[in-house]
Structure 1
């Protein structure tokens, strides 16, 4: 139960690992630095993700609610990692039914929330929830400001989606970027006018800009022009950049024996000699993709650490110069090891943030959603090189092997990318340390939340 003397914040994450983890990292910072009381809405199937935070933070409590039943999803599915990509939209829609139990809980709480902080995938129903409670709603973007800005542009202007060769222009964004339609989010490309779920999604993304404030997992030194754009474009102008949260994230739980084995193997590798390969918790590589990666790793001669989702078919004969990890691995700790010099990545923002925080250069293979925008950011910062693109694409073995070999072969281009990655690491670390841009923005956010509590006290006293 939230203490009546502390500002009480209601936090609503979206049930996807890539969305939940950075928001939980913010909750830890708000609880420790801001002395805030926080309630996190969670469903039973997602509660284990929250457990380490609850153990470490006594002022954070869960509000456990059953996941709303729906025939559109398989039984017991409560997180995107349990679903094929085409069902994500139905999970988004079903999750909104949590509005019904949350509203009376807030109204009867002896220390009601002074604000709601919720994921940008929940805006369509958490903004009305905040209005019903007469409290501010803050939108959390786990993704970069560049992508968030583009999403606002897309759903406002609704460019045509019937031409697969269409190049979509973003003239109002800094630099006027362009992207092929195929590189845009499937949630947008699959929109059907009049369809219940499609219209819900459109309303959801349009609601983002109506929030009282926006909290973004990025830092000014990387995305200053896009943050300024959002401040000018959003109704309120309140935008706080508090990342990269990977630089201040708590260590995730993992088996001690497995971790020690990996670290011991890395300890025996030369500095910067290992390529870490991982495509996130959502992407399931096809057999053709796995064969191409395995062939390229074998042909390249590099040492490697390859992490794959359970169910991925990995060709045999991968021992010797490398290791294959089935399932989740302690990615942040692996990237921070001195032996890891490069990261072959799908460009999920959490993975890229971790690489930036560790100073690791990237070979990029964006597959969908926000990843093409993230890859563009990585390449603009000169900390990564494109080697493939597309969720269905399989790289040429010779070409990928050549790119992998060049990472340790000492080419001038690769040397420059590694130097840039080391420099960006320093800038990112400075941003989250005391006096840094993100540290200061988080402080300003905490001050606003405390002010809301004082305003409520004053209003209540005046009504007596």
Structure 2
């Protein structure tokens, strides 16, 4: 990757000796993006070198994002071979992919670490890479864990592991098994807190493999201080290592000035957004990981069109009903700058798969959501958005359900109706979430202070 300058989002500086931080994300966009955003936040703050280790495939994928800004000069990218199933087929057999990450990444990562000069002073690794702790022990280097999902999922997996170890798991999670460990939420059913449609074996793999952070130096989370207060209190009561909420790790610092010399705001879709009334457009994106059946995609397309609400829809692989969509209906494109779109004045709603990064971006932008979860933590994230925070509507109740166009029309119209009392309430609540979120990211805000404290702690290893 080429290097380039980025605006420094931090007005004050902290003095540390030169050091080398190595970051190793889990190979998925929802994990790589927050790790890279963390590295961007670190780069102007201390005199250091940062190395990000990615597969060759992911380096090509990131490089192909033409509007992505260059990395700062002190962030380098090193590659490991494509030892994993392709990102394009990852969703077809996620268990196979996860097992490959556990068994095939270790050796090539070791080789890269052996070649680094200067060597790593600290390694920040995704929480789903448990093998990193042994690698760091061999080098007498502290390992830091980055958790890129919600605190609720973190603690639910921890409790799942404790129940499993004690032989207290039910045959399934559909009955009355409840846990009272999460106060101030609408339901404590373990079925609502753990990723659904997931086998016990995969849940066991996740919960036990990320358990390595007990011997870790510290744990970083992409949440912010006032978002999941009660859950974070419970987590801190169970773990002795320092835990720092430094999120959201989204590219907020790249919003202004524009990070791209070619000015992405001049793109056709931004010109189209500029021509729309305030809060009139529904932004639609269901992520890049899993595909949706052609039948369901057709229902979504027709529901959007029949709602008469204008929409901007990101469709990466398939273009449905393009012949029925014009500038008076909506705009369909294969990719967009999501956070910049969500922050645009004409966007008033977000139809989302409810991935954690997308959820945090919606909160940052103050945009209420319609949720359409597909996999893993997206269903529990929907529960947070709809039931606990009350900043969105649920489009489907279970994984087997095909959502008909009539339901899509109903939910889209309700969300985008500013005279609807429920919609008004959601907008008022997410406006408050937005204020707290953006305050956490400001200079002197809680997330910056937590990141400062983390850096002060790890700097003791350097001096």
Please say if 1:185 is aligned against 2:163: no
Please say if 1:242 is aligned against 2:251: no
Q: Which position in structure 2 is the counterpart of 1:16?
A: 28
For residues 304-339 of structure 1, give each alpha carbon's deviation from its aligned partner in whole angstroms, at most 9, with x where no partner exists. Answer: 112223136447523353334242221111111111
For residues 225-254 of structure 1, give each alpha carbon's deviation from its aligned partner in whole angstroms, at most 9, with x where no partner exists. Answer: 222222211242x11111112263546879
3-state SS of the aligned residue for 2:152? helix
Q: Which position in structure 1 is the counterpart of 2:144?
A: 138
3-state SS of the aligned residue for 2:455? helix
Give me the whole-angstrom Cα distance separating, in 1, the residues matched to 2:361 and 2:245: 16
3-state SS of the aligned residue for 2:401? coil
Q: Which position in structure 2 is the counterpart of 1:393?
A: 401
* CA 253–66 in structure 1, closer or farther in 2 if over 3 Å, else same: farther
Cα distance, 1:291 vs structure 2 = 2.2
The alignment's TM-score, normalised by the length of structure 2, stands at: 0.85
Q: Which position in structure 1 is the counterpart of 2:435?
A: 426
Give me the whole-angstrom Cα distance separating, in 2, the residues matched to 1:180 and 1:287: 32
Give me the whole-angstrom Cα distance separating, in 2, the residues matched to 1:325 and 1:161: 45
Q: Which position in structure 1 is the counterpart of 2:93?
A: 87
For residues 23-46 of structure 1, give each alpha carbon's deviation from its aligned partner in whole angstroms, at most 9, with x where no partner exists. Answer: 100011111123332111112111
Please say if 1:27 is aligned against 2:39: yes
Match of 1:224 among 214, 222, 229: 229
3-state SS of the aligned residue for 2:336? coil
* CA 406–104 in structure 1, closer or farther in 2 if over 3 Å, else same: closer
For residues 182-201 of structure 1, give each alpha carbon's deviation from its aligned partner in whole angstroms, at most 9, with x where no partner exists. Answer: 87436952518xxxxx8765
Q: Which position in structure 2 is the counterpart of 1:44?
A: 56
Match of 1:371 among 378, 382, 391: 378
Q: Which position in structure 2 is the counterpart of 1:308?
A: 315
Q: Which position in structure 1 is the counterpart of 2:129?
A: 122
For residues 367-392 of structure 1, give each alpha carbon's deviation from its aligned partner in whole angstroms, at most 9, with x where no partner exists. Answer: 32111221222232222122224444
Q: Is the 2:269–2:331 contact (alpha carbons within 8 Å) kept by the matching residues of 1?
A: no
Please say if 1:404 is aligned against 2:412: yes
The alignment's TM-score, normalised by the length of structure 1, stands at: 0.85
3-state SS of the aligned residue for 2:219? strand
Please say if 1:357 is aligned against 2:364: yes
Q: Is the 1:54–1:61 contact (alpha carbons within 8 Å) kept by the matching residues of 2?
A: no
Q: Is the 1:284–1:309 contact (alpha carbons within 8 Å) kept by the matching residues of 2?
A: no
* CA 313–391 in structure 1, closer or farther in 2 if over 3 Å, else same: farther
Q: Is the 1:43–1:66 contact (alpha carbons within 8 Å) kept by the matching residues of 2?
A: yes
Q: Which position in structure 2 is the counterpart of 1:436?
A: 445
Give me the whole-angstrom Cα distance separating, in 2, the residues matched to 1:101 and 1:94: 13
Pairs within 5 Å for 1:103-114? 103=110, 105-107=112-114, 109-114=116-121
Q: Which position in structure 2 is the counterpart of 1:462?
A: none
Give me the whole-angstrom Cα distance separating, in 2, the residues matched to 1:340 and 1:259: 17
RMSD: 2.9
Give me the whole-angstrom Cα distance separating, in 2, the residues matched to 1:254 and 1:293: 36
3-state SS of the aligned residue for 2:129? helix
Cα distance, 1:282 vs structure 2 = 1.4
Please say if 1:297 is aligned against 2:297: no
Give me the whole-angstrom Cα distance separating, in 2, the residues matched to 1:255 and 1:345: 28
Q: Is the 1:25–1:250 contact (alpha carbons within 8 Å) kept by the matching residues of 2?
A: no
How many equivalent residue pairs?
A: 435
* CA 386–122 in structure 1, closer or farther in 2 if over 3 Å, else same: same
* CA 357–138 in structure 1, closer or farther in 2 if over 3 Å, else same: same
Give me the whole-angstrom Cα distance separating, in 2, the residues matched to 1:160 and 1:49: 40
Q: Which position in structure 1 is the counterpart of 2:18?
A: 6
Give me the whole-angstrom Cα distance separating, in 1, the residues matched to 2:196 and 2:275: 43
Give me the whole-angstrom Cα distance separating, in 2, the residues matched to 1:23 and 1:425: 22
Q: Which position in structure 1 is the counterpart of 2:4?
A: none
Please say if 1:205 is aligned against 2:207: no
For residues 64-87 of structure 1, give each alpha carbon's deviation from its aligned partner in whole angstroms, at most 9, with x where no partner exists. Answer: 221336xxx4xxx2x3xx124352
Q: Is the 2:353–2:374 contact (alpha carbons within 8 Å) kept by the matching residues of 1?
A: yes
Give me the whole-angstrom Cα distance separating, in 1, the residues matched to 2:221 and 2:134: 21
* Deviating more after overlay: 283-292 vs 133-142: 283-292
Q: Which has the higher helix share?
A: 1
* CA 313–160 in structure 1, closer or farther in 2 if over 3 Å, else same: farther
